Amino acid sequence: MRIRIVDAFTDRPFAGNPAGVLLLDALPDGTWAFPDDRWLQRVATEVNHAETAFAHRLPEGGGADWALRWFTPATEVNLCGHATLATAHVLHSTGAHPGQVRFATRSGVLVATPEADGSLTLDFPTAPLTEVEVPDGIAKTLGTRPLAAFDTGPNVGDLLVVLDDEKTVHALAPDHRALGAHSARGIIATAEAEDPSRGYDFVSRCFFPNVGIAEDPVTGSAHTALAPYWSGRLGRPRLTGLQASPRSGRVGTELRGERTLLSGRAVTVIDGELHARPDQAVGSQSTLPASSA
């Protein structure tokens, strides 16, 4: 089977967020299904990027075109923006599915649309934000006290914290182990852009210790929570976010009520063959960690 590594939310290699993408073959009888979960998890662990996406075709005439699942090196997750963008990029660039594609996922049907400028737009559910008390101890964990905190709902599963300014976000050096106590997946830290003339309206960094990711380079799902917060603060439905990780990347957002559009580009960096097929024994060398998202 062909396996690809795609850098998402960037227009150049070695930036943005890398994702593994595996388009699964049909079964011998011509039908389509996901292999054993243990095999999927072990492939994702071997790829060792923030997410690996697995997709297979669905019968024509239904509500979606491809089934899609996402695994971190440690567990399956409910929603992943950059690996969805990466999968849509592979489908579009290889001709496997030109035009708009509908993915059946744990978070419902997600739509990816190629644009004339070469970018892709994802249609995702907007995360429901609920303001909560700033948790005790998080100031020590982050190294700074947030101005406000928000629960982002079950699909995203993060605590969104608003910080004083962009410099504070860039300077964060959190205690990653302690961060895991504050939410199901992790922490989104954000602040308003210091100078919007640089081409972005807000900055963020994302730390996901509970799914085996110390810092995620560029997180599409987090922007389904960042978009409603910053659109409400800044009074504009269309914004651009800079995720200020070492690899960095930009995500265009457009708030449409219960849906959020995320836009970006992607680049295939590696295109190779996976020789460990699903019909080979998975073995029992270790016990896989339980899902936490």
**Under 8 Å between Cβ of 104 and 151:** no
How many Cα atoms sit within 13 Å of 250 on the Cβ side? 13
Going from the C-alpha of 43 to that of each of 40, 108, 164, the distances in angstroms are 5, 24, 40
φ, ψ (nearest 5 deg) of residue 63: -85, -5
Residue 198 identity: R
Which tokens sit at 247? 């690899």
Query: What pLDDT score does 135 carry?
Result: 93
CA dihedral 148, 128, 89, 201 (to 10 degrees): -40
Catalogue the E-assigned strands of the chain: 2-8, 17-23, 51-57, 66-71, 76-77, 101-105, 108-114, 120-125, 130-132, 148-151, 158-162, 186-192, 202-208, 213-216, 238-243, 249-256, 259-264, 266-273
Q: Which of 46, 51, 60, 215 is catalytic?
A: 51
pTM: 0.91
Distance (Å, whole) CA 190 – CA 192? 7
Per-residue confidence of the chain (293 residues) as pLDDT tens digits?
999 999 999 999 999 999 999 999 988 888 999 999 999 999 999 999 999 999 999 999 999 999 999 999 999 999 999 999 999 999 999 999 999 999 999 999 999 999 999 999 999 999 999 999 999 999 999 999 999 999 999 989 999 999 999 999 999 999 988 988 999 999 999 999 999 999 999 999 999 999 989 999 999 999 999 999 999 999 999 999 999 999 999 999 999 999 999 999 999 999 999 999 887 655 544 333 333 33
Query: What pLDDT score does 293 carry?
Result: 33
Query: What pLDDT score does 27 carry?
Result: 87
Active site residue 258: no
Query: What pLDDT score does 279 carry?
Result: 75
Query: What pLDDT score does 277 carry?
Result: 85
> Which residues on adjacent β-strands are paired with residue 270?
5
